[in-house]
A and B are shown apart, each in its own frame.
Chain A
Amino acid sequence: MKELIFYIFLYIVFCLLQFSFGKYLNICGIFPNFILILIVYLGLSKRTINAQILGFLLGLTWDVFSPNVFGVRAIMFASMGYFTGLLGKNFDRDKISTQCVVVLFSNIIYWLGFNFTYYILPNGGSHTSFTFITLQGTMRLIVTVIIAPMVFYILDFLIDYMGRET
């Protein structure tokens, strides 16, 4: 029950952080992808099922607010939770370099997958080309990677505080 409340809390906090506060906290439209960081964190923490569920729900919520194809982000975040959970067994999660590298690759895969979906889907909600790389997108990726260790640390602290360290 406690775990469920904790994940609902995480869901609400990250929804607010990504959809509501981003409007005020972004710098020239550059704002990190906190949801991706959370999913990677949960995947690396061997909470693959939780990462998948939370990823799917957060992705679905994002899709609801986005005018893009409904369900794309849900699949992307659920996949991210699953694959980082599988790969996480081979990594030392506590190392900052590991956190950064995994978040970087996850972000690239997220970006590629997202664009690929739009590329193959007829009448996709976006006209973005598959190979289109923007400076803003690149900056967003870099900021996400830079901020990831900090989010990992806060989440570690929160989980320790809740007595949920397994």
Chain B
Amino acid sequence: MENALRKKAKELLESGEVKVVIGYGWNRAKTRATPVFITKPEEADRLVFNPLCVNNLSVYLTRKFKDIAALGRPAIVAKGCDIRNIVVLITEAQLKRENVYIIGMTCSGVVYRQELWKGELKPEIMPTKCGNCDVRNPHAADAVIGAKSTFVPPDAPAGMVFNKIKEIDSKTQSERWGFWIKEFSRCVKCYACRQVCSLCYCERCITEKNMPQWIETSAHPRGNLSWNLTRAMHLVGRCTFCGECERACPVNIPLNLLNQKMIMVVKDSFDFKSGYDEKTHPPMIVFSPDDKEEFIK
């Protein structure tokens, strides 16, 4: 699989079809996968693909990364789940489909966090998304690398995140409030959740709008609550549950619970799941004359 990937990358760079391949490589000790930017065909052998390739590299396609855009047309190594984010970027006019070459990787799952890797991929070290994945065969790629996956996701989504959501839903409103206030109390306002997210692509985030200061920058309960809820609400109908925000959070706030809950609400209310089809716009940004709510007509 890696050989096919390297061959493809080499071809693309040699022909000049792309100027950079955004993919995964090893760190010095070969213990962790880390993003790499391959600009020369002879460096294509640095590319790797394995269950440690957790990063959603689509973040590098956003306009925050002007220096990467300046390299020229990119090819991106992407798992199906990462492609869902690329599709949302295209839907939201952040990216033109023809301006990126997607090297889709068939995938059998990744580890939740790289430090959990002990040489074998077991369900208990995988994120909930992998056990329910319906895009192990990449859905919108220019080339697909790897043998076709025969994995069929369960009919009813299952796993840690779903169990935890059920548990929280069964609590009273004040208990749920208490749960989230406690979780948010650890927030250090580093905004890693925002930076790692390819769908948080605003060049000027609301946290940086300080005339007036919409979101207090202090890491106190009020500031933490307003930041975390604003982040969540800005992703309604857009978030693909890639899990990068929770993985990047240095204080382990369970953002996946919040994101998945929103996804479930959007699914129930609008029968919509983001990141599958670039032509369908997310429900929060479309107006339909046959909207089921009276007030909007």
**A and B together in one complex:** no
| A residues at B contact (CB < 8 Å) | none
